[in-house]
Chains A and B, each alone.
Chain A
């Protein structure tokens, strides 16, 4: 009759049931942030390889990176079905989170691919 306790913990920050929704399911928020991080990192790497193969140099490469990140943001918003509020707490999170985190990976794989294709 008494089952095992559910391992999901809902952290209640409000004591009143009639409040608005200031509380969220913390574990699922972390899961969503992790999924977004993996997606953005992978797309940064792939974008870097493509920029290197295309032979982009200088500012054009960074423009390409922002283009790839923009497309990834649109893709993530489409994956959430454009109903952002049931998966994230604000629009900023899905559009801007990890935007610059992938920049280092992009530059690394950009120089890597450029060297392989155009120099050696």
Chain B
């Protein structure tokens, strides 16, 4: 989380530097009275670099994907609740064949 955050901030700083460069470029164009057709090449390279860094940060900072399959290894519910006084285990359920494979870790 820390590294991704720093990378994201770095990307935003690069983008703001590119914005500042473009503002200065436009001021220069205003002096020479030319049309603005696009920012200079180094600004475009800087924008692409900032975009790549921000994209990396956007994919790593919000957190990991968690598995949604109910039978995967990290989704096991292995603890017993506290209200065992209200739970009866000696019932007719033991006559029903169960299809689960109960494996201990």
A residues at B contact (CB < 8 Å): 1-6, 8, 10, 17-18, 21, 23-25, 28-29, 31-32, 34-35, 38-39, 42-43, 46-47, 49-50, 53-55, 71-72, 75-76, 78-80, 86-89, 113, 116-118
Contacts and interface: CB of A to CB of B under 8 A. Distances in A.
28 contacts: A1-B80, A2-B81, A3-B80, A4-B79, A4-B81, A8-B77, A18-B99, A21-B71, A28-B75, A34-B62, A35-B63, A38-B58, A42-B62, A43-B54, A43-B58, A46-B12, A46-B51, A47-B51, A50-B47, A53-B18, A53-B43, A55-B36, A71-B55, A79-B59, A87-B65, A87-B68, A88-B68, A116-B23
Nearest to A17: B99
Interface residues of B, number: 45
B88 interface: no
A24 B66 CA distance: 12
3 residue pairs, one from A and one from B, having the closest CB atoms: A38-B62, A28-B66, A3-B79
Contacts of A76: 59
A3 B78 CA distance: 9
Nearest to B66: A28
Given A49-B19, A55-B36, 15 more contacts: A3-B80, A17-B100, A21-B71, A28-B68, A35-B63, A39-B62, A42-B8, A46-B51, A47-B51, A53-B43, A54-B39, A54-B44, A79-B59, A117-B22, A118-B36
